[in-house]
Amino acid sequence: MDSKIAILTGGAGDLGRGISKALTAAGHTVVILDLDTARAESAATVIKCDVTEPVACKDAVDEVVREYGGVDTLVNLAQKWSKMTLMEVTDDEMRLVFDSGPTATLRMMQLCYPHMKARGGGSVVNFGSSAGTQGGVKGEGAYAAAKEAIRGLTKHAAVEWGPDNIRVNVVCAVATDNPGRWPATSVTRIPMGRLGDPESDVGSLVVYLAGPGSFMTGRTLHIDGGVGTFR
């Protein structure tokens, strides 16, 4: 395909770097927005950006458009994590989780929308979590609420932006390139017997969703080796 321009928020982690490599291999020019520029630079061009700051987000998108001419794909991966029971979560913690998740996701979508529309369409790939779609894990209430808010935004954006040929979907992934971070018991619960690979498994799905042949929008796609069947 002709080179397409993709913005990836929160791309410095192992999942983000894998997605970036897959998009690059498929012909996309990828720009990562993240605070951890050192890790992100190993995968793509990076702009230092705190997605909870409106001005920083606007400046970053403007810079991408000036440098590359537009935006075709937006991947919203940035999200602060909270591991607290519902009785432990404070207002400040809840604000942080929502500011970095659904609020930042909507902000980036709003900033990229006119550029996608001007180029005849595009693709937004948001990231949800089985913590929200399936639940049942103690201490993930605030995180789950934020991820479900992102799914709600996705469904409405798919309806509102469909006429502009902008597709908006959600991916819920179980993947890492560092299996040592995951308890062995987590892997035994996965029917396919392994964790997903950020590049070949999750990245390939994002490439498909970003491609011109995708006729899918408003959907939540679980790429988890079947682990969701147990919840």
**Residue 103: DSSP 8-state:** I
Q: Which two tokens stand for residue 146?
A: 């934020």
CB half-sphere exposure, 77, CA atoms < 13 A:
26
Helical H runs in 99-202?
104-118, 130-133, 141-161, 184-188
The CA distances from residue 120 to 76, 83, 93, 115, 147, in Å, are 21, 41, 39, 9, 29
Which residue pairs from 84-92 have beta carbons closer than 8 angstroms and sit at least 24 positions apart in sequence? 84/139, 84/141, 84/142, 85/138, 85/139, 85/141, 86/141, 86/142, 89/141, 89/142
Q: Is 143 a catalytic residue?
A: yes
Place of tokens 């935004």: 153
Place of tokens 């909270």: 82
Q: Which of 68, 113, 143, 208 is catalytic?
A: 143
Furthest CA-CA distance within the chain: 51
Indicate which residues carry an active-site annotation. Answer: 143
